[in-house]
Amino acid sequence: MGSHTKSRFKRAIPGLDSGTPPMTDLPVLKPVFQGSRETWTWPTIAGVPRLAVPAWMVGLALIAFALSIGAAQAQAGAAAITFWTAFPQWLPFIMEGFVLNLLISFFAMLLGTVMGLGLGLAQVSTLDPLRRFAWLVTQFFRNSPWLVLLFCFMLLLPFRVKIGGSEIDIPGWTKATFALSLPIMANIAEIVRGAVLSIPIGQWESAESLAFSRRQTMWMIILPQCFKRMIPPWMNWYAILTMATPLCSILEVQEMMKSTREALNALGDKPELVAPFYTFVLVVFFVYIYPIARWTIHLERKFAVKN
């Protein structure tokens, strides 16, 4: 494994490697990547992957933020409300909204993962009708626009239920969470199905010849081997889901996007405040999601090398 640290090519390539004259004067397309991709690892601190967003990325985001403020101030002139007076005042309100984004993303992911595991296993079931049904459900939710799903479930699900004698309000964000968990469920199901099918048939056969039941084989032998390879795509879907949570704002869920809109509203919808406020929302999402994306890539590489 460690043998190909320097060059990926065993033989010297004429004209490319040092000391070898080219065999032709025609232009040669050089490999795009000449380093040793296989041996590169994400820098770690005490064994933990360094999650810190590279400084220049943060810098870039902050510059964009600053520029938008600058532009806003130039437009505002001597008006009473400036970004610097308004923003700190509304920051807690906006961040409270972000907490709801996080809650929606956590619960939708949790629900989607549990349901997706069931649906994925149903897709590799030996029962023909169950397998077909699971396939249909998966395809349906994988290929539906998330916003449309959100609208449907906000309207389909009741806003109030009666349990016993008392009426309980169902908050909008829980309905949104459920709606968002459905496409996650379908995509997790595909990940589970793919991972299960990627385990060599010999594992099933040896388990079978040791008299394990199908259920035992799945839970004790197949799924534990799938776990690792499912983590990177699973994290990827979490990132996608989190980026989709602002969709809920359209349905009056009090998340970050809606809070920001309301803050701007309260400030009199001043055009010079719109850009910096929304840029701030972007920066917050970026700072949260970018490390997850990097970590996903890191894990993908790590597991790829081990397998």
Partner 1 sequence: MNETPKNGLWTPDQPMVSIKDVHKSFGPLEVLKGISFDVMKGEVICIIGPSGSGKSTLIRCINALNDIQKGSIKVEGIEVNDPDLDKLELRKKVGMVFQQYNLFPHKTALENVMMAPIHVLKQDKADVEQRAYRLIKKVRLEGKETSYPGELSGGQQQRVAIARSLAMNPDVMLFDEVTAALDPETVKEVLVTIQELAEDGMTCILVTHEMGFARELANHIYFTDRGVIVEHGPPASFFAEAKDPRTQEFLSQIL
DSSP letters, 101-161, are HHHHHHHHHHHHHHHHHHHHHHHT-S-HHHHHHHHHHHHHHHTS-HHHHHHHHHHHS-SEE
Minimum CB separation from partner 1 for residue 238, in Å?
A: 24
Structural Rg of the chain based on CA atoms = 26
Distance CA 12, CA 305 (A): 25
Q: Which is nearer to partner 1, 39 or 213 (CB)?
A: 213
The answer to whether 104 touches 258, Cβ cutoff 8 Å, is: no
The residue type found at 144 is S
Beta bridge partners of 167: 162
- Closest CB 232 distance from partner 1, rounded Å: 18
- Measured CA to CA, the distance from residue 6 to residue 36 in angstroms comes to 6
Distance CA(303)–CA(307), nearest Å, equals 6
Cβ proximity to partner 1: between 140 and 227 the closer is 227
CB of residue 209 vs partner 1: minimum separation in angstroms? 4
Question: Cβ 203 to partner 1, closest distance in Å?
Answer: 6
CA–CA dist 159, 172 (Å, integer): 7
In whole angstroms, the minimum distance from the beta carbon of 206 to partner 1 comes to 4
Q: Minimum Å distance from CB 216 to partner 1?
A: 6
Which CB, 32 or 211, lies closer to partner 1? Answer: 211
Query: Which residues, 6+ apart, have CB-to-CB distance to 285 below 8 Å?
Result: 242, 243, 246
The C-alpha atoms of residue 101 and residue 254 are separated, in whole angstroms, by: 9
Pick 20 or 203: Cβ nearer partner 1: 203
Question: Binding residues for partner 1, per CB under 8 A?
Answer: 200, 202-203, 205-213, 216, 220-221, 224-225
Q: Which is nearer to partner 1, 99 or 220 (CB)?
A: 220
Query: Which residue, 217 or 279, is less far from partner 1 as judged by CB?
Result: 217
